[in-house]
Every structure is written in C-alpha cells, then in structure tokens.
A = this chain, B = another copy of it.
Amino acid sequence: MKLYGFWRSGATYRVRIALALKGLAYDYAPINLLKGEQGSPDYLKASPQGLVPALITDEGPVLTQSLAIIAYLEEKAPMPSLLPGDPISRAKARAIAFAIACEAQPFQNSRTQKYLREDAHFDDAAMKRWLDFTVGRALRAVEIMVADAGGKFCVGDAPTIADICLVPQVYAALRFGVDLSALPRVNEIHERCNALDAFKKAHPDNQPDAPKG
C-alpha cells in the first residue's frame, strides 16, 4: 500500500493512526499542500477532490476520503478493531468521529481558511470567532458525547475511530488557538492517546516530510 499525504494534514494523520494501530506497513508519498501539489493533474487523477490522503491499495484502485480508507482497512485487517464490540457503542464512536469529520475539520482546513482570509477578508479576530463557532462548538459537543460514552478513551477502554479523529482535531485546534481549557475529558483522552506508540508514530512531527528541528 502507498499513502499519499502531508505531514500536517489532519485527515492524513487519521489514516496514519489507523495504519499504526493495526500494524500495517505502507509506503509514504508526500504531497506538499503548501506548494499546491494536490492540484497537479497527476494527483487529481488519483484524488478528484484534490485532497489528501489517498491510498493506493494492494488491489490496485486508489481510495480517497480518510474515513472511507479507514473503513476499508477495518474490513481488510479486522484485528485489532477500530470499532467497539456492540452496535450502540459502535454508533456512539462513529457519531463522535463524524461530529469531528463533518462539523469541525472542514471548517478549519487550510483550503477553507485560505478562502475566508483571501476572498471573505477575514482578519485574525474574525477567524478566531469562526473557529470557535465551528471547531470549538464541535469539540464542546464531543466533550459531552465522550462523558456520556464513558471509558478511558472516547468510547470504552481501547482506542477507536473516535480517538483516531479526536487526536488530529485537538492537534489542529491547539495549533489555531481554539480554547479547549474547559474540556477536561477531551484533554485527558488526547493525552492518553498520545502516550501510545501508534499515536506517536503517526504524529505529524515524526513524518519524513515534516520540517527538521
């Protein structure tokens, strides 16, 4: 398998965590988002949305969308599972993952921020309000959802798809100065995940395309 991605892309980070938790080996092909490599004709053939990540499977086809890639990995290499063992807990884990993937990440990714700054002339204060209205609000909801689900991780006592989405989202939120100080469960789970080898291995700073030093 070959993963196209970018060290700091949150969606790529999710797939790296999933691959690491499952212990799957892969080649890594960096796509430099800052240089616009995601818009090259060659890359658009692999990923029509011009987004990272994309995964070239051993079967040949290229898959896009991080959560679709992770569902594929779950089917191909079921153990360890990235989903809880019962249907209601699985639904809760997926709901947290989607709350992040649909209600937080899209509003804060580099393409959206670039548009809002350049086309809509958001200044720093406007961006801060926007990020709190979107990312902050989504993570405040996630705080309630993880408290309801209980356990050491988002849902239960092992990392699931919910944690795979949470950790890159917290990384981005901190990077962009979103205030998470009132979210004790989110912070605690973030820290517990980051103590695990798989999450360390997947961290942006530990990727070959990350800036040195």
Binding site for B on A (CB under 8 A): 48-51, 57, 59, 61, 63-69, 71-72, 75-76, 87-88, 90-92, 94-95, 97-99, 101-103, 105-107, 112, 115-116, 119-120, 122, 126, 129-130, 133-134, 137-138, 141, 144-145, 148
The reply to whether A65 and B120 contact each other, CB–CB distance below 8 Å, is: no
Q: Which of B65, B71, B90, B97 is in CB contact (< 8 Å) with A75?
A: B90
The reply to whether A101 and B103 contact each other, CB–CB distance below 8 Å, is: no
9 contacts between A and B (CB under 8 A): A48-B141, A48-B148, A49-B99, A51-B103, A72-B90, A75-B87, A102-B106, A107-B107, A107-B112
The reply to whether B126 and A120 contact each other, CB–CB distance below 8 Å, is: yes
The reply to whether B115 and A120 contact each other, CB–CB distance below 8 Å, is: no
The reply to whether B115 and A91 contact each other, CB–CB distance below 8 Å, is: no
Interface centre among A51, A59, A75, A102, by most chain B C-beta atoms within 10 angstroms, is: A102
Given A49-B138, A120-B120, A95 and B64 contact (CB-CB distance below 8 Å): yes
**Alpha-carbon separation in the docked complex, A50 to B90 (Å):** 21
The reply to whether A49 and B103 contact each other, CB–CB distance below 8 Å, is: yes
The reply to whether B99 and A102 contact each other, CB–CB distance below 8 Å, is: no
The reply to whether B71 and A94 contact each other, CB–CB distance below 8 Å, is: yes
Residues in chain B near residue A141, CB distance under 8 A: 48-50
**Alpha-carbon separation in the docked complex, A137 to B48 (Å):** 10
The reply to whether B107 and A91 contact each other, CB–CB distance below 8 Å, is: no
The reply to whether B98 and A144 contact each other, CB–CB distance below 8 Å, is: no
**Alpha-carbon separation in the docked complex, A136 to B90 (Å):** 32
